[in-house]
Amino acid sequence: MINSKSRMNMIIMILIMILSVIMVQPGTAEAAGYIDTDTPVSLTLSCQADMGPITGQSYDLYLVATTDKYGELTVTDEFKSFNIDIFGENDEAWRTLASTLEGYVLLETEKGNIKPAGSGSTDSSGRLTFPAAGQETLSQGLYLVVGHYHEQYGYYYDTTPFMVKLPTLDSEKNVWEYIVTSNTKQETGIAASPNYVSRKAIKVWNDKGYEKSRPKEVTVKLLCDGIVYDTVKLNAANNWNHTWEKLDGDCKWNVIEEFDGDYKVEITKEGISFVIKNTCGDNGNLPGGKGNSKLPQTGVLWWPVPVMSAAGLTLIGIGLLRRKSRP
Amino acid sequence: MKLKKGSIFIIIGLLLLVAALLLTCFNLYDQFRGERSVDNIMDKMILKNGEHSLQEGEIPDYILNPDMEMPVETIDGRDFIGTLEIPSLNLNLPIISQWSYGNLRVAPCRYDGSAYKNDMILAAHNYPSHFGNLKYLKEGEHVIFTDADGNKFTYTAVVRETLMPTAVNEMLSKEEDDWDLTLFTCTVGGRSRVVVRCVLW
């Protein structure tokens, strides 16, 4: 016969067992598990325009960081020297990272200091797969995809660089995707001849509270297809910006910054402008307040007029009365 | 010579009347000088084309970098960040970049903030030719600030309030009302501040 205390213990045990089963069930927000580092990865680029597939457009793939089975990234030796923040994991951070890296990568590739992990051109259906037949297998990691300037159908196509992680986490299915397809984004327009464009470099300082750490000037290089076209200095005298006009529109233009110091650099393209943002410090807001305890006195001094007039008239009245009251 | 009884009161009373008259003349002259000052500056200002001078595909610098220093035009040794137009008050005034008591006697000044960050505060004397008629600016009426590059920012007046001279934090704060531009000047007595808050139209 089970007494009440034993019954209570049994109920508690059953509840603990039920809770344990519930807790080990994978929730929708839990990680997808470890990455299988032995599974080969591949990336297929799909390049489509309104007129049809973009064929024969060249792309390079650069390995920026390798990944372990936990998904943790380790920057490769080639990219360790870049003074950038490589670990933002949201779309916005990776868009900024890709646009920042593009210029540096093109320059270093031209110099022979960096080699792409893969190169190729799109086929008749506008697709390009890495690794291509005969090429080495791709390492698992974070890649930068850079497209070359291309003309077709009477239009030019300039691919927006982007980052892709191989394998990629499918957040809906909560699994690692080892075979990844990405649609490229293109900046496009009518391929005019001659085709002239303008480009502008604008410096933005993100260093509130650390303004005194800023250098007096910074050196910015304009690259045409990875080759240095021009070097300028940005400083307060030119409002930290410079515009190049009548540039060859058939060229892929980028800017990079030469900078020593504690600032991280981000380069984004907005319209024809390259915004070069340097970040320093924790960017916390300085204590507020204007340092003044009162708002400025912006009034014309009128109030003494009626006061003095009234006082003057009163005193004159008193004086006259006193004279009259003389015996 | 012995003064007549009551003379001292009369003399002091007359002195006070003279002082009141002198102050009145000085104030009227100061108002006239304030009006001439802004007229002279507006004659010298070179108005740029702003967005019309942008190249195709170019985004204005202040959108790419709202933290940038507002560009200035230097006239007679003072830096001006642009002009402020209030059509309903028939005002078109230059705005000095940094306030000081000396600058306030010349033209309205920026007290704090930036047009690019939607937190600019402008202060001016209550001369009729400056912000003296600010109290007549009605809700819904427009205020247009044009920066030194010719970029135009159009605002609508939404709130008028009175603040004490010690209300610095309230002046700067956006907790009570969200505003993009603030204008203020002294009340007639000089003891309070007439404040008009505006939002981007």
Contact B104 A296 (CB under 8 A): yes
Give percent of chain B with pLDDT exceeding 90.
69
Would the ipTM clear 0.90, i.e. be above it? no
pLDDT (0 to 100) of residue A42 = 95
Q: Which of A205, A206, A271 sits opposite B57 (nearest CB)?
A: A271
Give yes or no for B179 touching A (CB within 8 A).
Answer: no
Q: Which of A272, A298, A305 sits opposite B58 (nearest CB)?
A: A272
Q: What angle do CA A261, A267, A270 make, to 5 degrees?
A: 150
Half-sphere exposure of A322 (CA within 13 A, CB side): 14
Considering the domain boundaries, does residue B3 fall inside one?
Answer: no
Alpha helices in chain B (DSSP H): 7-44, 61-64, 101-104, 168-172
Give yes or no for B95 touching A (CB within 8 A).
Answer: no
Shortest distance, CA B134 to any CA of chain A (angstroms): 13
- Summarize pLDDT for B113-145 with one digit per residue, the tens: 999 999 999 999 999 999 999 999 999 999 999
d(C-alpha A136, C-alpha A119), whole Å? 11
* Chain B residues with beta carbon closer than 8 angstroms to that of A297: 101, 165, 186, 190
d(C-alpha A137, C-alpha A41), whole Å? 8
pLDDT (0 to 100) of residue B2 = 59
- Summarize pLDDT for B22-61 with one digit per residue, the tens: 999 999 999 999 999 999 999 998 876 665 577 778 889 8
A260: confidence class by pLDDT, cuts 50, 70, 90: low
Considering the domain boundaries, does residue B34 fall inside one?
Answer: no
pLDDT at B174 over 60: yes
* Chain B residues with beta carbon closer than 8 angstroms to that of A315: 9-10, 12-13, 16
- Summarize pLDDT for A88-146 with one digit per residue, the tens: 667 788 888 999 999 999 998 888 889 999 999 999 999 999 998 777 789 999 999 99
- Summarize pLDDT for A300-321 with one digit per residue, the tens: 888 889 999 999 999 999 998 8
Q: Mean pLDDT across chain A, nearest whole number?
A: 84
Number of domains chain B is built from: 1
d(C-alpha A148, C-alpha A57), whole Å? 7
Considering the domain boundaries, does residue B10 fall inside one?
Answer: no
Considering the domain boundaries, does residue B63 fall inside one?
Answer: yes
pLDDT (0 to 100) of residue A264 = 82
Q: Which of A298, A303, A319 sits opposite B185 (nearest CB)?
A: A298
Q: What angle do CA B140, B143, B149 make, to 5 degrees?
A: 150
* Chain B residues with beta carbon closer than 8 angstroms to that of A99: none
Shortest distance, CA A283 to any CA of chain B (angstroms): 13
CATH 2.60.40.10 fits A42-190, yes or no: yes
Give yes or no for B173 touching A (CB within 8 A).
Answer: no
Nearest to B68 by CA among B178, B151, B177: B151
Residue B79 sits in a domain whose CATH number is 2.40.260.10
Q: What angle do CA A35, A162, B67 make, to 5 degrees?
A: 120
* Exposed/middle/buried for residue A194 (C-beta within 10 Å: 0-12, 13-18, 19+): exposed
For chain A, domain boundaries: 42-190, 196-279
Nearest to B3 by CA among A319, A313, A311: A319
Domain that holds residue B65: 39-200
Q: Who contacts A190 (Cβ-Cβ below 8 Å, separation ≥6)?
A: A154, A155, A156
User: How confident is the model over A159-174, as a mean pLDDT?
Assistant: 90
Architecture label for domain A196-279: Sandwich (2.60)
Classify the phi-psi angles of A167: left when phi > 0, otherwise alpha if psi is within -120 to 50, otherwise beta: beta
Shortest distance, CA A250 to any CA of chain B (angstroms): 17
pLDDT (0 to 100) of residue A29 = 36
pLDDT (0 to 100) of residue A326 = 59
Q: Are A156 and A191 in contact (CB under 8 A)?
A: yes
pLDDT (0 to 100) of residue A172 = 84
pLDDT at A49 over 50: yes
Alpha helices in B45-122 (DSSP H): 61-64, 101-104
The helix (H) or strand (E) run that includes residue B200 is strand B193-200
A-B CB pairs within 8 A amount to 161
Considering the domain boundaries, does residue B33 fall inside one?
Answer: no
* Chain B residues with beta carbon closer than 8 angstroms to that of A311: 13, 16
Flag the least confident range among A54-58, A98-102, A235-239. Answer: A235-239
Contact A300 B187 (CB under 8 A): no
* Chain B residues with beta carbon closer than 8 angstroms to that of A273: 58-59, 61, 64
Q: What angle do CA A242, A245, A251 make, to 5 degrees?
A: 105
- What is the phi/psi pair of residue A226, to 5°? 85, -5
Contact B13 A299 (CB under 8 A): no
- Summarize pLDDT for A4-38 with one digit per residue, the tens: 667 766 766 666 565 544 444 444 334 568 899 89
Considering the domain boundaries, does residue B18 fall inside one?
Answer: no
